[in-house]
Amino acid sequence: MFGNLVNKNARSAFKEYGEHCGALANIEVATSSTENPHNPKFVAVAKLGDRAFLPATASTKKDAKEYAADLALQELAREPYGRFQENINGGELPEISHGFVGRRRNVYTRRQHAKMKSTELSAPPDKDPVMLLNEFGQKRGQLVKFEDVQCMYPGLYKAQVTVGEATFGPKSSSTKRMARKLAAIVALKTLMNWEPAEGLYDTPEESPHWSVSPGGPAQMAQGDPAQRKAVLYKDPIMLLNEHCQRNQLKISYEDLPHLGPDHKKTFSCQVIVGERSFKEGSGPTKIVAKKNAAIHALESLFDMPVELASKPGQANQMKVDRHPVSILNEYGQKKGVKVEFEDMGHSGPDHLRTFNFRAVVGEVTYDPGNGRNKKEAKREAAALALQSLGFEVNVDLSKKTPTTAEETSIPPEEHKLPLTDGNSAVSALYELCQAHHLPHPEAQEVRPDEKRDPALHYCAYKVGEELYNVGAGLTKKAAKEAAAQHAVASLLKLKGVHHIYNPGTTSEGDEIAALCWNHLSILSRDAPEGWRFAGYKVVAAFVMQDGDDAPGVVVSLGTGNKCISGDQLRMDGTTVNDSHAEVIARRSLLRFFHFHLRVFFSGQTDVKSIFVQKERQGKIQLRDGIKFLLYVSTAPCGDAAIFVNETCCSSEDATETKALFGSRQQGLLRTKVEKGEGTIPLDPQDGIQTIDGIHSGQRLRTASCSDKIAKWNVLGVQGALLSVLIEPVYVTSIILGKLFHQGHLSRAVSMRVERDNDNRFSNKLPGSYHVNHPKLEQGHLVMQDRSREIETKCKTKVLSLNWSAGQDTSVEVFDGCQGIAPSKMGKPSRLSRQALYASVKEVIKHSQDLGHRQILDAPSYRGAKELASDYRKTKAMLYNRLKETGYGSWDLMKKPPELSHFN
């Protein structure tokens, strides 16, 4: 009649009881006042008709209603009349199969058993103690609160836990998480007799970064304070910073004036924590002084002597003559902390990647390490972490030590030659042969008659008819590597290997081409990885002639065919935005101009300057007879190259003298592809370039080399800054290697601005500016003792090489996709706008002309360029000319003005 009340909850049973009695059963809920708004308490009162029962309190409305109904049923069970009476003797209630009373008695009995069972917690020994303690508090209705306690030792955390009114702990550990777990274990042992699995949380209550003698932290308070001493295995600066961060203290390091002569300086530093200053530290370097200052601060803060571990290998009871990764893993196992290596991705192109990893020991993250593969990156990351922990670890520890057999068969100094830069010597040999157009190398197994070891393999490389020295190794691969080392070393020592180019004919173009390639071969011998540049894809050079019959001299040279993307732009002018060979050669030519201007201003007599000043108040100009030629190994990207292919470069096309204007697409301004090759035409719908748009993903638009050469033939190659000092400088000839077509080339470099028989535009230009129409020639190359033409194409590379004659004749190599040197420091190139601007300022300091010295007072790089008024006027007229003739708007390729506001 009333259903099965045994399986019903208290609220349902209470309502059915009301229906059975003919009275309204209701439960009212109200929120009690509490000081903690985040932990409200609800009060519920059960009513049966006009009768109200005892109130019940719980953290949720549902539980409050349930407890209130349960209290009402208990009170009803104690009423006389025999309904819901319990057996006060503790025996079992008689089973009543019919009627509401028997069913309700079973409900109440089973509910009491269930409630008693629900408060009895049991958990496996491997369960997290913090989680288990929180569950215990929820079941018992007691508040569980963890608190961090201030610790008197550096690098150590203390925590205690409060359950209801009882407090347990504190316990200490090297991490905050472990300290809380240890405090929870103490509480669980007392409250519910729970213990974790054996050995699971048996961690020492001391920091892995320092040790205290005697007795450790537990006995320090009882020991003699005069005998306490902390030995640090971690950087004291890091320990002090962590202490201040944990206690919310402001910390600062103040460098004090150094003492002593320049060759033996003594630096000093002082630490200020909050308003408190500590004893200053000194040392031969700033970092040593800073560490000593941090040690003095730790000594004062923790009232004990502090010193660095003098022998970290003995202090940690580990050997440091093995692989850094193995040492770090053993250190983590001993200290009970987890050691992980976090992959931070890679950088660089697919064929020249640099991998980055950093070590994470416990909750401490160390400096990242990098390498050419993941194994090298992890090794360096482990070494950096061990150094921070106090170990004296060398990054090269993981390199394999040669065996006795290898030491006897291969000289130690030839194990790894510097020219391979850590790469495979076999790959280096193949690239060297390809670069210098040598025959394909062949590996041959040999059997030496003398001192042959049966446990070793022997190999030698044959290039052409020449068989080079034998290499030996425990495996065939090791033997090939050793043999390739011998072959590469011998090839680079050959006297004629760097002078292998001859002109195809006696024409001036062929002689200039051979001159430039032989010059690159000489330069690449001393450049970093420079020997690989002999087969580079694009080479450009400026050749100077002093007189009509004088031989040409290479004064600047560049290689490359890459440019940066928008995310590499820098506001300080330290990156080279465009690393195509023509642009690099022209920027190197500016450095050559700077050298001769310095010679001119200083009046040096040992070097004859290429500049003279014919009029007293006029601008400086080139000496009579000085002229410059531009050589490019292939057609400049853009309008000069896209309409030319190998099949159309016939002798008839090469002798064509008229510029071709057969299509609307011919002559259009084009932009380069970011970090790639090729060009695309300007889209008239594109707006001007802005910093915000580029940072948001807008493509960076850089003018093609064909467009830039056309610009040079109007404004000159000297640029805006030097236009304040000198007259415009134009090239007299352009020599091209591959993809030469007279009609397309002449249109691209000058004819689309003004035809050679039409001077109306030139007559409007100010000063000495005019549209220059250089002589166009082709340059052929052949190898020594061979009649076939040289193939100058090669696979694409990201590195760019530059050189110029003058004072600094060294070779510089930088990453064309990054615009900076490919090193950890990321050093700016000497061809960056910032470097060239600084070089111009140094030159002008030697000048007495007040007009020249205005550049020194300019507020920024952009302000200095605006001093060249005729140059700016000519450039504006050129841009309007191209736009009016339908070739496109150069304003769409201008870089944002913010990039020129540096000083």
Given a contact cutoff of 8 angstroms between Cβ atoms, the answer to whether 171 and 186 are in contact is: yes
Give the span between the Cα atoms of 822 and 210, in whole angstroms.
Answer: 38
Question: Using a CB cutoff of 8 Å and minimum separation of 24, what contacts does 215-223 make?
Answer: 217/153, 217/156, 217/172
The CATH number, out of the four listed (2.40.128.120, 3.40.50.300, 1.20.1250.20, 3.30.160.20), of the domain defined by the range 425-493: 3.30.160.20
Q: Which CATH class is domain 324-389?
A: alpha beta
Quick: pLDDT tens for 144-166: 999 887 765 666 778 899 998 89
| Whole-number pLDDT of residue 316 | 42
Given a contact cutoff of 8 angstroms between Cβ atoms, the answer to whether 341 and 375 are in contact is: no
Given a contact cutoff of 8 angstroms between Cβ atoms, the answer to whether 764 and 771 are in contact is: no
- 691 burial level (CB within 10 Å; 0-12, 13-18, 19+): middle
Can you list the residues of the chain whose pLDDT is less than 50?
1-7, 81-104, 116-119, 214-226, 311-319, 395-422, 495-499, 530-531, 533-535, 650-656, 784-794, 824
Given a contact cutoff of 8 angstroms between Cβ atoms, the answer to whether 668 and 887 are in contact is: yes
Provide the token pair at 83.
């309904």
| Whole-number pLDDT of residue 853 | 87
| Whole-number pLDDT of residue 310 | 54
74 alpha carbon, distance to own chain's centre: 71
Give the span between the Cα atoms of 836 and 856, in whole angstroms.
Answer: 14
Q: Which residues have a Cβ under 8 Å from the Cβ of 271 and sit 6 or more positions away?
A: 240, 251, 252, 253, 254, 277, 278, 281, 293, 294, 296, 297
Would you say the CATH fold of 230-308 matches that of 10-77? Answer: yes
Give the span between the Cα atoms of 753 and 396, in whole angstroms.
Answer: 60
Give the span between the Cα atoms of 534 and 513, in whole angstroms.
Answer: 13
DSSP structure string for 445-479: E---SSS--TTSEEEEEEETTEE---EEESSHHHH
Given a contact cutoff of 8 angstroms between Cβ atoms, the answer to whether 737 and 641 are in contact is: no
The structure's pTM equals 0.52
Amino acid at 136: F
Given a contact cutoff of 8 angstroms between Cβ atoms, the answer to whether 523 and 545 are in contact is: no
Cis peptide before 859 (omega within 30 of 0): no
Given a contact cutoff of 8 angstroms between Cβ atoms, the answer to whether 762 and 721 are in contact is: no
The CATH number, out of the four listed (2.40.50.100, 3.40.640.10, 3.30.160.20, 2.40.50.140), of the domain defined by the range 142-192: 3.30.160.20
| Whole-number pLDDT of residue 738 | 86
- 1 burial level (CB within 10 Å; 0-12, 13-18, 19+): exposed
| Whole-number pLDDT of residue 152 | 57
Nearest to residue 535, comparing CAs of 814, 805, 797, 798?
Answer: 797
> Rounded to a whole number, what is the largest CA-CA distance in the chain?
136
Q: In the 3-class helix/strand/coil scheme, how is 567-584 assigned residue by residue?
A: HHCCCCCCCCCECCHHHH
Q: How many CA atoms lie within 13 A of 312 on its CB side?
A: 21
Provide the token pair at 714.
């109007």
* H/E stretch holding 96: none
Sorted by where each begins, the domain ranges of the chain are 10-77, 142-192, 230-308, 324-389, 425-493, 508-642+659-900
Question: Using a CB cutoff of 8 Å and minimum separation of 24, what contacts does 401-406 make?
Answer: 403/474, 405/453, 405/455, 405/456, 405/474, 406/472, 406/473, 406/474, 406/478
| Whole-number pLDDT of residue 841 | 92
Give the span between the Cα atoms of 56 and 53, in whole angstroms.
Answer: 9
Place of tokens 């220059």: 772
CATH architecture of 10-77: 2-Layer Sandwich (3.30)
* H/E stretch holding 743: helix 742-746
623 alpha carbon, distance to own chain's centre: 48
| Whole-number pLDDT of residue 102 | 47
Nearest to residue 559, comparing CAs of 812, 348, 768, 763?
Answer: 812
| Whole-number pLDDT of residue 556 | 95
Give alpha helix (H) positions in 788-903. Answer: 833-844, 861-865, 869-884
Provide the token pair at 754.
């003004």
Residue 344: phi and psi, rounded to 5, are -100, 15
| Whole-number pLDDT of residue 261 | 78
Give the span between the Cα atoms of 631 and 510, in whole angstroms.
Answer: 10
Given a contact cutoff of 8 angstroms between Cβ atoms, the answer to whether 716 and 768 are in contact is: no
State how beta strands 775-778 and 731-738 pair. Answer: parallel
Q: ∠ at Cα 27 (22, 32), nearest 5°? A: 160
| Whole-number pLDDT of residue 713 | 94
| Whole-number pLDDT of residue 19 | 83
Nearest to residue 542, comparing CAs of 727, 733, 715?
Answer: 733
| Whole-number pLDDT of residue 534 | 43
Helices 61-77 and 10-21, interaxial angle, to 10°? 50
CATH architecture of 230-308: 2-Layer Sandwich (3.30)
State how beta strands 799-804 and 553-559 pair. Answer: antiparallel
State how beta strands 626-634 and 731-738 pair. Answer: parallel
Residue 476: phi and psi, rounded to 5, are -65, -35
Provide the token pair at 427.
């790959």
Quick: pLDDT tens for 758-808: 889 999 999 899 999 999 999 887 654 443 344 444 455 678 889 999 888
Place of tokens 């005892």: 54
234 alpha carbon, distance to own chain's centre: 26
Q: How many CA atoms lie within 13 A of 754 on its CB side?
A: 23
* DSSP state at residue 152: S
Nearest to residue 161, comparing CAs of 136, 137, 180?
Answer: 180
| Whole-number pLDDT of residue 314 | 40
Which whole-number Å values give the CA distances from 648 to 653, 656, 679, 735, 850, in the listed order? 7, 12, 20, 18, 55
